[in-house]
Amino acid sequence: MLQTAYFPGQIIKPMVFELNEQYWQVPTLQTGEPVSDFLLPSQFIDFYEPVARDAAALMQGEAGLSPTIPSLSYLPRACHGLATVEAWQQQELQNRYEPAPIVQWGAIASWEEFAAQRKRIFVNTRRCRRKLEREVGQPSFTFQDERGDVLATAMAWKSKQYRATGEADAFANAQHVKLFETLAAQKRLQVSTMRLGDQLLAVHIGFVSQGRFSSWVASYDSDYHCYAPGRQLLHYLLQESFELGHQEFDFLRGNEAYKWKYATHTRLIAELGHPDFSIRAKRQLKEALKVSLLDFFNAVPQAKTLAKTVALRM
């Protein structure tokens, strides 16, 4: 998928590397160079997690590679472990790591217990549901919706949200669009929807792997925001994930407030190792150019949104 979207004409293979006495599977170019965040500046590549040594050796063998595992000097975003939400609230962890909140279903005895512990937001969401039913109609939810209108609509809604909040529009980048189109064509996405008849109200794009439901992109029709369709769909997905016996519901990287309303734990994400000189130099140049662009364009109010999109995409 990375090859099709970001490196057409090249071959990308997953390889296992050793770093800090741990093993990490990283997409790698034909030259043997790991695909770093400078080669692949995509916000959709979340973080790396260590793999067991036996699994690392098996991965090498399945890929037809030497059993000798090469070393790696640096990963930009690596998982350093797991902490409870209570532990995360201690300032020390927040100063050292970026969170990736999760719900560990093993810590939850029943769905009713999970909802009861979050009574306020569940009551509010049910109120929104009743309001929608009363004023507009009865919604339907689909865990895997393969109808042709879903993906393009979700990306268009998300682009609108990015622009409205002044964030860089990820889906203005044709490579990111290609990534999602490729994954959808390969049926590797979990695309869930909330509809009124045939009309889409909310779309959630995620994926399921090794007992983990990962939440990737959530979007909704802003004309229906007063009914909280995105939250209604999220609650449906949380319950489906629990009832399907998933080990966890993963919100991925990000400190957004809504994630903490549901999370029981968080992964701790930070750099690992020591970047070499070329990476440090590129990072310093990138930050200097970003600041310069924002300072220059922000002086022109009409160009402010464009400035953010250009500078933050760097």
Q: Are strands 199-209 and 13-19 parallel, antiparallel or unpaired?
A: unpaired
Q: Which residue has the tokens 């998928």?
A: 1
Return the top range by mean pLDDT from 1-15, 24-38, 206-220.
206-220
Of 135, 151, 162, the closest CA to residue 224 belongs to: 135
Other C-beta atoms lying within 10 Å of the C-beta of residue 42: 17
Alpha-carbon gap, residue 29 to 3, rounded angstroms: 9
Question: So what's the pLDDT on residue 194?
Answer: 98
pLDDT tier at 11 (50, 70, 90 boundaries)?
confident
pLDDT tens by residue, 151-198: 999 999 999 999 998 888 999 999 999 999 999 999 999 999 999 999
Mean pLDDT computed over 77-101: 94
Question: So what's the pLDDT on residue 64?
Answer: 61
Question: So what's the pLDDT on residue 312?
Answer: 46
Question: So what's the pLDDT on residue 310?
Answer: 46
Alpha-carbon gap, residue 49 to 56, rounded angstroms: 12
Residue 53: pLDDT above 90? no
Other C-beta atoms lying within 10 Å of the C-beta of residue 308: 22
DSSP code of residue 125: H
Beta bridge partners of 27: 14
Return the top range by mean pLDDT from 39-43, 62-66, 73-77.
73-77
User: What are the structure tokens assigned to 41, written together?
Assistant: 């500046």
Alpha-carbon gap, residue 100 to 20, rounded angstroms: 21
State percent of the chain over pLDDT 70: 81
Q: What is the side-by-side strand order in the sheet with 98-104?
A: 74-84, 265-273, 98-104, 248-250, 212-220, 199-209, 190-196, 140-142
Question: So what's the pLDDT on residue 164?
Answer: 92
pLDDT tens by residue, 219-236: 999 999 999 999 999 999
Domains of the chain, start order: 2-99+271-313 (no CATH), 101-268 (3.40.630.30)
Question: So what's the pLDDT on residue 311?
Answer: 46
Of 102, 52, 51, 45, the closest CA to residue 77 belongs to: 45
- What are the strands, taking DSSP E only, across the chain? 13-19, 22-28, 50-51, 74-84, 98-104, 140-142, 190-196, 199-209, 212-220, 248-250, 265-273
Return the top range by mean pLDDT from 10-19, 33-42, 252-261.
252-261
Mean pLDDT computed over 192-209: 97
Residue 281: pLDDT above 70? no
Q: Are strands 140-142 and 98-104 parallel, antiparallel or unpaired?
A: unpaired
Residue 98: pLDDT above 60? yes
Residue 121: pLDDT above 80? yes
Question: So what's the pLDDT on residue 305?
Answer: 52
Residues 6+ apart with CB under 8 A from 226: 128, 131
Residue 207 one-letter amino acid: F
Of 218, 245, 212, the closest CA to residue 232 belongs to: 218
Average pLDDT of the chain is 86
**What is the phi/psi pair of residue 125, to 5°?**
-70, -40
